[in-house]
Amino acid sequence: MALCRKDGDSRANHIIMPSCSFFVRGGWRGSVFLSLSLCCLSSLALRAAEPEFPAEKAKWRYLRSENFEVYCSAGEQAAEVTLRDLETLRALFLELLNVKQQRPIPVSVYVFGRENHYRSYLPEDIRRASVTGIHLAHPDRTTIMLTMAGNYGDTRQTVRHEFIHHLFRVVDDTPPLWYNEGMAELLSTIAEEKGKLVLGRPPVGRLIHLKMEGHMPVEQLFTASRAAKVFRSDDHAGRFYSQAWLLTHFCYFGMTDVPREQAVQFLAAASASEIDERPQRLAAVAQQYLGMDLKTLDRRLENYASSGKYGSHHIAIQKVQDPRDYVRRDVPRDEMRVRLAELMARLRKDSAAELVLMNVAERDPTDSRAQEVLGTLSLMRHDEMGMMSRWKRALAGGSVNPAVAHEYLQQRIRTLFLSFDPHYRMPVALAEELRDLVRRSIQAAPEQSKMYEALAWIEASTAQPDIGNLNLVQTRFAALKEQSRTLVALAAARHRLGMDQQALKLLDSLATFEPDAWSTDAAEQLRAKIERRPSNEELRNPREKGASRTGAIIRLSEIAAPDGE
């Protein structure tokens, strides 16, 4: 297995490749994780009889809250505590960072009462390690596996840490490494005390790293990547996490001479992509928000680390769903067997477990979850066509998983609009299929920018754009991330509707949105079509009369259709 990013690749233009994080008991060093990519599955070895899975005969309870589900063989109270903890952390994260869910990703938690059952599902190469839990970031769902055996406090703290990375995915944010880890460390130690939520208690292992290994300069912290020297050993990685926690904690709770709001604004400005791309601007940001240069900030951080006095904050406990309203039921053995097969296939890449899922999908085409998992397993083998085929079947079978609808639609949109062709007309059946997927995804997460952007392009490509859908996109336009591209889509839709003057007016305003090269080129092609003249690209690269229009779209036989213009 190869080392990879713990939170997967959530960049806008790529499919999220699966990733796996392991929570390791680290003695005095505290909890340490290893993040391993899930690589190719071995070839399926068909077996005459399906196997029995560890803990299959145990008594399992299923609990579901508004945002999570738990399968638990450690008693109902353990499941309830786990659900409430995750719901509270989710609410705190969204409130503290003032963000909203952008990408709907279901979360399934498996809590084992017996450690030997739990260890049976660990990948072979870490089965003997002191692993207290596993966090799997897959495109169709996030999976957490843990055991109540051992020190559950350490396990819960590390589960929280990894869960913060999941929440950054949910809000469609890819922060720099130091901020991602710093916030994960900061929020991993929340605790309830006297009816309040205590935020800011230091993780003991991080304090030991700070004391024994010394200070890491802020500039080094900001430029570190997972390939850097700082990550070549557990000790060095621990130093990085400790320093990331220290800076984040100092800005929230330790800076008495700078208003907290201003210090938190520094964190937001310093974690912006502009600083990540041009770290030399960090000094100006520190001066602007903190009123100090980087040397002074380093000195203040060293003093804060050695003081032994770390601030904390008591806040009202977030209002979350009452545990009495959770869905609760026993899990029949046949159902639990399939869920354990899913867990075994995800974690151990077990061919027999995958065969169980394939048999379920064949016997019952309406079991959309089996198709969803099989699609993800195809992706783990880098088989994107297999993934799309399985997910299409899942959606056709009535899947209510919004993450599958989101990822499937994103992949279709990427394929359709690799390049822009103002003459392309989307077939009616395809347009209806994609509109339905957008509706499903938006219903699950109304704030997600990508779905409104996708809807704009669907309407821009149909012979008869839906006015209601265009109005919906326009009401959300101010909050969209890809405004320049969406503006071109809205202009193209107006052209379809015969509103050429409105389309040209929109294109005239494009420059105010700092368009990228793709948007600029697409706008020029659309303008040329409206004005009935050759585009700049056609003048540069004239083609023979009757030659096919350029662009990936027009070459895809399943969707190509002349617009008759």
Q: Is residue 160 part of a domain?
A: no
The model's pTM is 0.81
**Tokens representing residue 190 in the block:** 């929340």
In a shared domain, residues 429 and 303: no
pLDDT at res. 4: 32
Q: Are 86 and 69 in contact (CB under 8 A)?
A: no
Q: Are 434 and 458 in contact (CB under 8 A)?
A: yes
Out of 311, 338, 367, a domain closes at 311
Q: Is residue 232 part of a domain?
A: yes
Question: In terms of C-beta density within 10 A (0-12 exposed, 13-18 middle, 19 or more buried), how is residue 329 classed?
Answer: exposed
- Distance (Å, rounded) from C-alpha 120 to C-alpha 348? 9
Closest residue by Cα to residue 158 from 137, 175, 180, 133: 133
Number of domains in the chain: 2
Q: Is residue 279 part of a domain?
A: yes
Q: Are 330 and 62 in contact (CB under 8 A)?
A: yes
* CA dihedral angle for residue 424, residue 428, residue 431, residue 433, rounded to 10 degrees: -150
pLDDT at res. 299: 95
Q: Is residue 71 part of a domain?
A: no
pLDDT at res. 556: 29
pLDDT tens for residues 442-458?
888 898 899 999 999 99
- Distance (Å, rounded) from C-alpha 23 to C-alpha 277? 31
CA 226 to each of CA 179, 229, 280: distance values in angstroms, whole numbers, following the listed order? 13, 8, 20
CA gyration radius, the chain: 26
Supply the DSSP string of 364-429, one letter for each residue. -TT-HHHHHHHHHHHHHTT-HHHHHHHHHHHHHTT---HHHHHHHHHHHHHHHTSS--TT----HH
Under-50 pLDDT residues of the chain: 1-17, 24-48, 236, 544-565
**Tokens representing residue 211 in the block:** 């004391």
Closest residue by Cα to residue 18 from 133, 143, 128: 143
pLDDT at res. 228: 59
pLDDT at res. 21: 64
Out of 311, 329, 361, a domain closes at 311
pLDDT at res. 295: 94
**Tokens representing residue 427 in the block:** 């077939």
Domain of 476, CATH number, reads 1.25.40
Q: Which residues contact 51 (CB under 8 A, 6 or more apart)?
A: 352, 353, 356
Q: Is residue 434 part of a domain?
A: yes
**Tokens representing residue 204 in the block:** 């003991």
Q: Which residues contact 151 (CB under 8 A, 6 or more apart)?
A: 25, 132
pLDDT at res. 492: 97
In a shared domain, residues 551 and 422: yes
Out of 265, 291, 311, a domain closes at 311
Q: Which residues contact 515 (CB under 8 A, 6 or more apart)?
A: 484, 485, 523
Q: Identify the domain containing residue 548 by its residue range.
A: 417-555
Within 10 angstroms of residue 288's Cβ, the number of other Cβ atoms is: 12
pLDDT at res. 529: 95
Q: Is residue 549 part of a domain?
A: yes
Q: Is residue 23 part of a domain?
A: no
In a shared domain, residues 306 and 422: no
DSSP collapsed to 3 states, 447-488: CCHHHHHHHHHHHHHCCCCCHHHHHHHHHHHHHCCCHHHHHH
Q: Are 131 and 32 in contact (CB under 8 A)?
A: no
